[in-house]
Amino acid sequence: MTPNNNNNILVAHNWIQFLEEKNLVLSFKGEFNRDLINAILLLSSGKGNLNENNTAIKSRIFSIIVECTQNICKHGADDSERSEIRPGIILIGKEDKTAVISTGNLMHNEEVEVLKQKIDALKKLTKEEIKTHAQNVMRTGTLSAKSGAGLGLITILRKSEKLNYEIKKINDKLSFFSLQVYVSTVIN
């Protein structure tokens, strides 16, 4: 083995250690489309670390993964205006008794302020207010060209304990949107 190969093995070993320390059970970075979403859902449903014994908890985690990956596919931007495949990243792990679903994708700068306002307004609501808001949106909401009136974000907030986000401007056209969703794996 050449010294360069030893360094590659060390880097791979360090990466594996990092993933184990962070209890990361699934990660993907690349171009998102419907087929990939189905593959991620299939892989995440079979992961022992997330495959909780309680059906309601499994269902909440699965539902959030669906919404997060669909948000990348529906709302993500690409460097080229012509592409229908959206680049993004998803990391699924566990911290103590909490599943953590983290996603990231590009978005157009002109959409940043609207998204911030929508998330910040939803985060201020109680669980009961979010439930009522979801019912109102389903009853009276009009569908946008890309989705169903923000129901994905509402669903994520309803089924999670906490949601954090960050948006960083990359250039004149694009920003990077990252989302972290926390789901308790403890039965209340």
Who has greater pLDDT, 108 or 15?
Answer: 108
Structural domain including 70 reads 3-184
pTM of the model: 0.78
- Collect contacts of 139-148 with beta carbons under 8 A, ≥24 apart: 146/74, 146/75, 147/74, 147/75
Place of tokens 């990092």: 18
Q: What DSSP string describes 117-137?
A: HHHHHHHTS-HHHHHHHHHHH
Per DSSP, 148 falls in state: S
Least confidently predicted of 4-13, 49-58, 107-116, 167-176: 4-13
* Structural domains in the chain (count): 1
Q: What is the CATH number of the domain that holds 71?
A: 3.30.565.10
Q: Give the model confidence (pLDDT) of 9-33 as tens digits.
A: 666 666 666 666 667 778 788 887 7
Please list the residues that pair with 180 across neighbouring strands: 102, 164
102: enclosing H helix or E strand? strand 98-108
